[in-house]
Amino acid sequence: MTDVTSPTDLVPAPRAVRGPTRPGVELTPGTTLWAGPGTETTERWLRSTLGPALGLPLLPGPEDAPGGLRLRIDGTLAPEAYRLAVAADRGIEITGGGAAGVFWGAQTLRQLLGPDAFRRAPVRPGRTRDIPHRTIEDAPRLRWRGLMLDVARHFMPKDGVLRYLDLMAAHKLNVLHFHLTDDQGWRIEIQRYPRLTEVGSWRARTKVGHRASPLWDDKPHGGHYTQDDIREIVAYAAERHISVVPEIDVPGHSQAAIAAYPELGNSDVVDTASLTVWDTWGINPNVLAPTDNTLRFYEGVLEEVLDLFPADAGPFSPFVHIGGDECVKDQWRASDTAQKQLGNLGLADEEALQSWFVGHFDRWLTARGRRLIGWDEILEGGLAPGAAVSSWRGYAAGVTAARAGHDVVMCPEQQVYLDHRQDAGPDEPVPIGYVRTLEDVYRFEPVPAELTPEETARVLGTQANVWTEVMEDQGRVDYQTFPRLAALAEVAWSDLPAPADRDFAGFERRMEAHYRRLDALGVAYRPPTGPLPWQRRPGVLGRPIDGPPPHR
């Protein structure tokens, strides 16, 4: 009895599938695994993940073993490209242009083996799996295929982060943008400044729903990652060819840090010693003081961050995200200290003062062989050539950045903010922002049409952003993220036509098979028919809107 998936049911869709439909290779407990030089990460993953799911030991064997599984690198292919060939006389061969390409080929093999391959132990012992004779040739469209995970608003324990790295790998996503600090919590241990986690990692209570909601959860909320937790997360990601890009938010979104170290705030304007970690949502007026002391403090933070997130852990590991968005300047306008700094620097206004702040860390990171990336507000006032931009307020900033010679990650909130509601129906839990359905995400186009070919090369790729103000646990994160992340993964990976010409009906058909994979992985996704009774949140006020929403 066999249980395999058709090559036409893959998500994301591959570029080319060729070959007749006839028996190819039968996987059995005797199937051997040969791994050529440079394919060790995939070899380990196959034995630790795919093998246990199907009860296959995948013992080492010779390269020419009949019916065996072989991994090899062919430098004539692009680094993330792969070729998966199945033939009765050759067995199964995964060839990649680099180690990452081999790994993505193994992810495709897993999908071909059916939903049981996504479990942690065999559920149908003895079932054979005859993979038909096929050759799949594939390569990603975009280099940066990411997920921004906000663990500051609601903390996600380490095991949850590792689980999301596995979910990303299953969808051929390769960048985790790790949002570690904000007004509502500081989540990374900094040994030089222990109060950042002693004080800044927890809040006394939490607003339930939108900030206008009258509801509160009076249970303290908190948590943080130790430095060894971070090292583990980065290493686990690297084994799956995922780069982790940390975000340390400055100069706004910083009340948790100010609560821990009041001297970081504008203490001549507000009693910073009385501030606590923020317990509600929105744009916070308490921002960092634009002083040399603040710069020195965050240099100390970033020195430890650079050690924890080494530049050689993945192709995008040199990047460090510094936020830079939604910095309200009211306190700077009222602060004698800020105004003196502005005058000493010969700057025109408070906007230029933020540009000075961002520019300092741009130069500081560049001097250490790293690259700054920030939300699109950092464009205001000019950027050094090596800085990159996360374009969140729409397409315009991404176009501006690309034309100015900056690399861009397209993540406009109007399309790929997954905290936004998936349907206009009354049962949708905590309705936030725009209605963005699975089809809307599938028709998202990350590369602005008005760019020239040279400017288009500046678009590194795209990512979905998962802000967690109204996602208090793993089930809520799953519900908002899936299945829409599967659509974003196909947009980023597959060579799709223009949005209006995309075959969404075909994608929905392929998702029928993919839902079974998500079920096997235990993902609490939104069903196509709407939320299940326990996924609803009756009575919790959201933020339904028609026009452009505020960020976060």
Place of tokens 């306190």: 331
Are 209 and 131 in a shared domain?
no
Does any domain span residue 45? Answer: yes
The domain boundary, picked from 108, 138, 168, lies at 138
Are 191 and 277 in a shared domain?
yes
Quote the CA–CA distance of 7 and 24 in Å, as a whole number: 13
Predicted confidence (pLDDT) at residue 170 exceeds the cutoff of 60: yes
Mean pLDDT to the nearest integer, 298-306: 98
Note if 182 is an active site residue. yes
pLDDT of residue 136: 97
Are 292 and 329 in a shared domain?
yes
Split at pLDDT 50, 70, 90, the class of 5 is low
Tens of pLDDT, residue by residue over 470-514, are 999 999 999 999 999 999 999 999 999 999 999 999 999 999 999
Predicted confidence (pLDDT) at residue 366 exceeds the cutoff of 70: yes
Quote the CA–CA distance of 255 and 185 in Å, as a whole number: 8
Q: Give the closest residue to 416 by CA, choosing from 388, 444, 377, 449.
A: 444
Does any domain span residue 470? Answer: yes
Predicted confidence (pLDDT) at residue 338 exceeds the cutoff of 70: yes
pLDDT of residue 117: 96
Tens of pLDDT, residue by residue over 65-84, are 999 999 999 999 999 999 99
pTM: 0.97
Q: At what angle do helices 504-521 and 158-170 cross, to 10 degrees?
A: 140
Predicted confidence (pLDDT) at residue 333 exceeds the cutoff of 50: yes
CATH number of domain containing 123: 3.30.379.10
Are 107 and 162 in a shared domain?
no
Note if 423 is an active site residue. no
Are 90 and 168 in a shared domain?
no
Are 189 and 122 in a shared domain?
no
From the list 80, 93, 138, 182, the catalytic residue is 182
The domain boundary, picked from 82, 112, 138, lies at 138
pLDDT of residue 515: 98
From the list 74, 279, 326, 508, the catalytic residue is 326
pLDDT of residue 4: 57
Which amino acid would we find at residue 62? Answer: P
User: DSSP labels for 150-214?
Assistant: E-SSS---HHHHHHHHHHHHHTT--EEEEE-EETTEE-B--TT-THHHHTTTEES-EE-SSTT--
Neighbours of 531 (CB within 10 A): 17
Report how many domains make up the chain. Answer: 2
Does any domain span residue 551? Answer: no
Predicted confidence (pLDDT) at residue 550 exceeds the cutoff of 70: no
CATH number of domain containing 355: 3.20.20.80
Quote the CA–CA distance of 157 and 7 in Å, as a whole number: 36
Cα–Cα distances in Å, from 384 out to 300, 346, 350, 379, 387? 22, 19, 19, 10, 6
Tens of pLDDT, residue by residue over 105-141, are 999 999 999 999 999 999 988 777 889 899 999 999 9
The residues, any chain, with a CB within 8 Å of residue 96's CB and separated by 6 or more, are 39, 71, 72, 73, 74, 77, 79, 80, 81, 82, 83, 102, 103, 104, 105
Mean pLDDT to the nearest integer, 90-101: 96
Which residues span the domain enclosing 117? 7-138
Are 484 and 444 in a shared domain?
yes
Are 178 and 257 in a shared domain?
yes
Does any domain span residue 2? Answer: no
Tens of pLDDT, residue by residue over 8-54, are 799 999 999 998 766 689 999 999 999 999 999 999 999 999 999 99
Are 175 and 76 in a shared domain?
no
pLDDT of residue 386: 84
Are 108 and 82 in a shared domain?
yes
Split at pLDDT 50, 70, 90, the class of 88 is confident
Split at pLDDT 50, 70, 90, the class of 464 is very high
Split at pLDDT 50, 70, 90, the class of 549 is very low
Are 42 and 173 in a shared domain?
no
Does any domain span residue 552? Answer: no
The mean predicted confidence, pLDDT, of the chain is: 95
My answer on whether omega of the bond before 262 falls inside 30° of 0, hence cis, is no
Q: Give the closest residue to 40 by CA, choosing from 109, 94, 99.
A: 99
Are 92 and 203 in a shared domain?
no
Split at pLDDT 50, 70, 90, the class of 276 is very high
Quote the CA–CA distance of 467 and 136 in Å, as a whole number: 36
The domain boundary, picked from 115, 138, 161, lies at 138
Note if 508 is an active site residue. no
User: DSSP labels for 311-360?
Assistant: TTSSTTTTEEEEE------HHHHH-HHHHHHHHHHT-SSHHHHHHHHHHH
Tens of pLDDT, residue by residue over 502-517, are 999 999 999 999 999 9
From the list 253, 321, 406, 514, the catalytic residue is 253
Beta pairing partners, 245: 177
pLDDT of residue 42: 98
Tens of pLDDT, residue by residue over 211-230, are 999 999 999 999 999 999 99
